[in-house]
Amino acid sequence: MKIWVPAESFEELIKNRGITITRFCEDTGIHRSTVHKWFQKGAVPAEAMEQLRTFEFLGVTEFQSLLDQTQLGLDWFCNLTATPSATIERWRRSNSTPKWAIIVLKQRLVIKGLKDRLDQQSSVDSKAD
């Protein structure tokens, strides 16, 4: 059973966080029409409120640095996360990146680091033979 909260609470929290509903939708992947239906209904799912409460932005410098370290490029990130490149450009202009984007890149770097270590170990093993 879904728990619902008054839509006014959601709207107030969005204003207090200093973001727009459009921005929330773009950065969370929740379709704008879904939010519109919530407002028509006068209630928002509690999990959407929690998502908004934990919605964090970090500087775009960290995002770009991590993206450069992956050596995979912006197209890779956009395809992996279904994030339009226009959204990335908006992050750059506003100097704020959602925390989830940073987490995706950090996870990719961990995977890359593990792969590099395995490749190095394989190289050492093949030289020993």
Note the residue count of the chain. Answer: 129
pLDDT tier for residue 129 given thresholds of 50, 70 and 90: low
pLDDT digits (tens, 9 = 90+) for 59-109: 788 888 888 988 888 898 888 888 888 888 888 887 778 878 888 888 888
Q: At 69, which amino acid appears?
A: Q
C-beta of residue 70 within 8 angstroms of C-beta of residue 109: yes
Mean residue pLDDT across the chain: 82
